[in-house]
Structure 1
């Protein structure tokens, strides 16, 4: 009988980093109302930072901000904004400065995705994903850069690994995230002399998130994926990477892309039957939620 594979443990960042490493710092996070970005925000707050979370749904943001404040003992405030609209980001930055007087860390995490083949993808749908992910990242950088410069701060851009290889039904997000990666690299070289660092976290499949629920094939429709780390990713895995990249331990790390995927990308194949799925998309519609 073959031995069972080793499964890497989930680690609390507090077991590695001191609780006060971000004391007095302020985090500005787009997409912070849920999922991966909420998890990163909570982790940074647990190490002493206050935070502003941005999104389009004020009711969800308000509830999340309350929960994060209660969980961490720090201050988190909501700011309604659409990253496609620069003025709303500028207003959120103004609110942040009025409340806290500074912005040290920025997470550019607002994103949109769905499954669709190019043949069934409208120009408007393609444009919308680029506007949220790529243009939204650019708008966030523009709105915050003066304050991040003043604080000698740092950016983390949330990307993906989909564009490292061709991924069926993901042309829109692959193009968008490739643009995010490129923007981060330019920020690193342009703003490095001003004391600003910029890096990318590229999560692989992360369980119990809205994105994973939306993009995963239905249960029983595909072979379980293989992870060299022994398990699917957890939000805490991404959060720990964010704590490290914002910390002084990463002071010499900038312009880099950090996949957080347990080695999944090295073994990833198509998530849908290939080439059947691209030759006849309707034949796999029942496997996908939402449907094609």
Structure 2
């Protein structure tokens, strides 16, 4: 992997969601620190409620950190305002989970892909030429530009969302569960596409998923989150094949396998790890 200075640095990040009425606030994240270098993918993995999506939202400026610092290319963006965020969007983009709701149903694919280019000041002629190249990059037919999102499958819609994210050649893309709504075969194809784009452009990914096998497929480094805290952090090959923490072992054991006997043994082992996880974290 490259040895450049980090593109993104998160140091001591904490997020507390305010309570309602007499209810106390909820501490969603506590003391989260990591770095992502150019051309690198960091996978965030954990079950629902682990805080992984909140990290992505904090980086995108969608939630306010309670403590800690977020730096992008050396610049503190922890509390960046609207104008700074608009400028930052040139380098920082997102691919959301649901390809059915993340695309405007009334706009053609060409209009969807040309919109971020127009915002950046591209002429219509330049934008249309770029759109044709984007469709080719994500392996969609050349006539896709004139069609509406509803005319495409889920996997194709996610390819459109990816094309929109890479339209202005960002340096970092936050991928928030981008394949969880897709079937396994389509998942693999979209993950391969993301890897292909990274190898061609050098873009970095912060990749959020609840699925350890998906994280293994695409990540260089992995952070495992449990109840808003990091419980394991390391190279993807090690964390996803020989996890040390009981919670990561639970995630590993929850992945389905084709052998019924092995699946049953893994299920029983996973039950035994539930209590160990709480004890280990406490």
Q: Give the TM-score taking structure 1 as reference length.
A: 0.34
Richer in helix (by share): 1
Q: Give the TM-score taking structure 2 as reference length.
A: 0.35
Richer in strand (by share): 2
Q: Which has the bigger relative contact order, CA under 8 A and spacing at least 6? A: 2
